[in-house]
Amino acid sequence: MIERTIFIENAEQLITLKGLSGKPATFEKMSSLSVIESGAILIENGIIVDVGTTEDLRHKYSSKIEEAECIDASGKIVLPGFVDPHTHIVYKGSRENEFNMRLNGATYMEIMNAGGGIHSTTSKTREATEEELFTESMNRLNKFLLHGVTTIEAKSGYGMDWDTEYKQLKVAKRLNEEHPIDVVSTFMGAHAVPKEYKEKPDVYVELVINEMLPKVAAEKLAEFNDVFCERGVFTPEQTRLILEAGKKYGLIAKIHADEIEPYEGAELAAEVGAISADHLLKASENGIKAMAEKGVVGVLLPGTAFFLMTEAANGRKMIDLGLPVAISTDCNPGSSPTVSTHLIMNLACLHMGLTPAEVITAATINAAHAINRANEVGSLEVGKKADILIANVPNYMQLQYHFGMNHTDTVIKAGEIVVQ
């Protein structure tokens, strides 16, 4: 954080998302963006000091503004920096060969069960040095920043042995320290059953529970504990054991749930009190209702469905059932190699039935709720971190209307201009 005063003024729309930090937004609250026309925002030393109309703030702070660095946002909108609550950015290599196999008819699970998929990235990640992993992941973060993302979650899970999981978590920690984007860590030792344990998956579950989780907790390497609960990967019972064990160490539960087949992952998320359940393409209505009742955030990943050529999760129905919904890139080398929150927003409208206003909430404050950061980011309110995106469109609907375009104009992270 630096000592500096910044005044942004004349925004066509200043999207504050005021009043949604207490709990995740549901139903019509997902459309309550609290837009200020001709908006302005005053930032001091990395923190939002005031938000209002340009006229009011110019009047109230005239002498401060004389000294401040002023940014004219005429013709543009100002909104919270995007929060991406589900990524696998710390990995080595790429999987375009599998992309080609899928174009020729192979499915994602067939490729994985034949030893490719997550296993292929795991081999490369195991071989990589910490420095190589750091450099590759740093490059990805740079691209995220250019798309207006200011906070990101990053999972381990391409090690599935302690040394590599540890290496990934250390890289995530360093990225958080050295890159402007805040990186929030999730341990995902249970991303797949590693090849060495193919015939004895329960032994691997025990390894995660008895050896990996205690080490993650002892070094405070992660805040969340995630499991890929899917037929052929981890069963709901194994998932429950891993998540309950994590909770004893203070790790908050997350689940990759009901992505490929219905498997009662949504129900399990509600039962274990997960902060989020992610994917949910095949989640049951009862599961969604149970999540809604417990306030579990549904993190939807429209880019993954798009890239795997499957029907996207029914986000419209989920919101209508009362589920708080967030969206994310799911950036990873197999099922969603993208850094574009902008494209994800387009897809959330076009393939999931969300409205442009709901999409903004899903990519900001609800995404912050999904990673326990809603008290500091995800909305533009007094006292919050000045994580701000200025987008080169005159209204927020144009963000979703143009597709495949990056509308980022300026990014401010903790009060510092990091993209201009």
Pick the stretch among 64-72, 280-288, 328-336, 406-414 that binds Fe ion (CB under 5 A).
328-336
Which entry of Fe ion, ligand NIG, none binds 84, CB below 5 to 8 A by partner kind? none
The two structure tokens encoding residue 324: 């708080």
Give the residue with the Cβ less far from ligand NIG, 10 or 341.
341
Radius of gyration of the chain (CA): 21
402: annotated binding-site residue?
A: no
Length of the chain in terms of residues written? 420
Cα 160 to Cα 188: distance, rounded to the nearest angstrom: 8
Closest to ligand NIG by CB, 307 or 396: 307
Stretch that binds Fe ion, among 22-30, 330-338, 351-359, 363-371 (CB under 5 A): 330-338
Q: Is 332 annotated as a binding residue?
A: yes
Helix residue ranges, H only, 128-188: 130-146, 162-178
119 binds, among ligand NIG, Fe ion, none (CB under 5 to 8 A by kind): none
6's tokens: 């910044």
Residue 116 structure tokens: 């490719």
The H-or-E segment that residue 357 falls in is helix 356-363
Residue 163 CB, nearest approach to ligand NIG (Å): 19
- Contact partner, 238, from ligand NIG, Fe ion, none, Cβ < 5-8 Å per class: none
Cα 15 to Cα 120: distance, rounded to the nearest angstrom: 42
Please tell me whether 372 is known to bind a ligand.
Answer: no
CB contact set of 11 (below 8 Å; sequence gap of 6+): 36, 38, 39, 40, 41, 54, 73, 74, 76, 77, 78, 390
Cβ 283 to Fe ion shortest distance, Å? 15
Across-strand partners of 226? 254
- The site partner of 17 among Fe ion, ligand NIG, none (C-beta below 5 to 8 Å per kind) is none
Q: Residue 95 and residue 334: Cα distance in Å, rounded?
A: 6
Return the one option of ligand NIG, Fe ion, none that residue 118 interacts with (CB less than 5 to 8 A, by type).
ligand NIG
Q: How far is the CB of 155 from Fe ion (least distance, A)?
A: 7
Beta carbon nearer to ligand NIG, 95 or 342 = 95
The closest alpha carbon to 218, from 174, 249, 175, belongs to 249
Q: Count how many Cα atoms sit within 13 Å of the Cα of residue 303 in the half-sphere of its side chain.
A: 25
Q: Closest by alpha carbon to 157, among 247, 250, 226?
A: 226
- Comparing every residue's Cβ against ligand NIG, the nearest one is 334
Q: Which residues are annotated as a binding site?
A: 86, 88, 95, 158, 191, 256, 259, 330, 332, 334-335
Residues in touch with Fe ion (CB under 5 A): 330
Q: Could you tell me which residues are annotated as the binding site for N-formimidoyl-L-glutamate?
A: 158, 332, 334
> Residues at the annotated binding site for Zn(2+)?
86, 88, 256, 330
